Amino acid sequence: MQQSQRQAVEIVARVLDGAALPAAMAAVNLDNAGPARALVQELAYGTLRHYGRLDALQRLLATKPIVDRDIGLLVVVALYQIAHTRAPAFAIVDQAVDAAVAMGKPAAKSLVNALLRRYLRERDALDTRVAEGDDVVARWSHPRWWIARVRRDFPAHWQAILAAGNARPPLSLRVNARATTRETLLARFADASIAARPAGASGIIVDMPVPVTALPGYDDGAFSVQDLGAQLAAPFLACADGMRVLDACAAPGGKTTHILETASVAMTALDRDEARLPRVRANLARLRLQSPAVRVVAGDARTPDAWWDGQPFDRILADVPCTASGIVRRHPDGKWLRREADVARFAAEQRAILNALWPLLARGGSMLYVTCSVFGDENEARIAEFLAATPAALRETLIFPADVEHQGGQVLPSADAAPHNQDGFFYALIRKA
């Protein structure tokens, strides 16, 4: 355990220094396999989800600031472990003390021990002080500017949105309708003693997450991993057989493959990052969706002259780059890596993509604008601006499933208590008159 604690400290430190979580994980030598590796991931992801609160607790416990950041983070990781895992509290404390020694800082043993044991003694009172204090970052575990934006954009829902961002995400699957049925796949899971339940139109939530490759049907292409909120894109786009379709920001291919599962279309899957395209091709291959009608192309949606063949598309999916503020429960590093200035930077890119793709859409065709953000400046503001400047652009009314909580085109992120447990996505369907 103490090795996992130390590795989690190193990962969290790298993220706080500006590294994305996958890169931080890759940089740490996780030569331990199985449950130990899983523990490192649990501690790193969980600590970042709740970092605002945990850091406030660490500062509250210490009578003066801890000069050594690694020791401070070790206390933070151990606090997460005490609050959110089933490991015995005494073992967590003892292992954290051993971790301080293994980190080459034996002088910090008594400090780590004293702080964590004080937390065990005064846990309820300390938790209440943080939860009811004036520090909103501590209370909600999001940056102050982020909290202010969500509160401004969603005055009736801001607390639920922030709480959902700190929740543990489910393992959500999308059934490949070309390969099997949901009932058949659920039966296969049941035969393998894997508890799962239907969700959404074609989704499944696995109650206890397991390695995806170990699930029945993975090698057969029977399903993909996809959040329930993301599974709304293909039905909203409403493709029909024979259409020409562009997925303008396709990697890793979740929405591309979903469209191909629903209709036989001539698909162009575009992404500007060529290094991500092998994942698109791999997903197409595993799901048995490869065909001459499917093109995977490296190119920038903002510069179609470099890759477009001049033939208009009947449908365009513009799943544009964004702050990813709606999916932070899956990518908790995003809360601490993003800066408020990033919102305007992404908005400019979104504006450029909309303007560049519009001429590629056939008359009477539809473009679905999608983000995985909850910031209005990336969503409603972009669509309102585009509609005002584009006379032929008509916004269609989207009919959301009854169990999906939304505000206009914004799917509100939810947690386990919701019947449709999804991340936060924004959708706007625009038809060319």
Q: Is 372 part of the annotated catalytic residue set?
A: yes
Domain membership flag for residue 294? yes
Q: Let me know: does 224 contact 261? Beta carbons within 8 Å.
A: no
Whether 277 and 408 share a structural domain: yes
Q: Indicate the DSSP class of residue 107.
A: G
Q: Are residues 14 and 101 in the same domain?
A: yes
Euclidean distance between CA atoms 10 and 23, whole angstroms: 12
Tell whether the model's pLDDT for residue 32 goes beyond 60: no
Residues 255 and 346 in one domain: yes
CA 428 – CA 121 distance, rounded (Å): 51
Which CATH number covers residue 380?
A: 3.40.50.150
Cβ 298 vs Cβ 277: under 8 Å:
yes
The tally of domains found in the chain comes to 3
Tens-digit pLDDT profile for residues 246-260: 999 999 999 999 999
Cα separation of 1 and 119, whole Å? 20
Rg (alpha carbons) of the chain, rounded to whole number: 23
Is the separation of the CB atoms in 256 and 276 below 8 Å?
no
Under the banding of pLDDT at 50, 70 and 90, the label for residue 167 is very high
Residue 145 is assigned to a structural domain of this protein:
no
Secondary structure of 287-317 as H, E, C letters: CCCCCCCEEEEECCCCCHHHCCCCCCEEEEE
Determine the pLDDT at residue 335. Answer: 97
State residue 29's pLDDT score: 75
What is the biggest distance separating any 2 CA atoms in the chain, rounded to whole angstroms?
A: 72
Q: Does 94 reside within a domain?
A: yes
- Residue 353: predicted pLDDT: 98
Residue 208: which CATH number?
Answer: 3.30.70.1170
pTM for the whole structure:
0.94
Range of the domain at 200: 171-225
Q: Would you say residue 33 has pLDDT above 70?
A: no
Do 184 and 242 reside in the same domain of the chain?
Answer: no
163 lies in some domain:
no
Distance between terminal CA atoms of the chain? Answer: 62
Considering the domain architecture, whether residues 218 and 235 belong to the same structural domain is answered as no
- Is 415 or 300 the better-scoring residue by pLDDT? 300
- pLDDT tens, position by position, 121-145: 999 999 999 999 999 999 999 999 9
Instruction: Determine, yes or no, domain membership for 161.
Output: no
- Which of 239, 249, 322, 372 is catalytic? The answer is 372
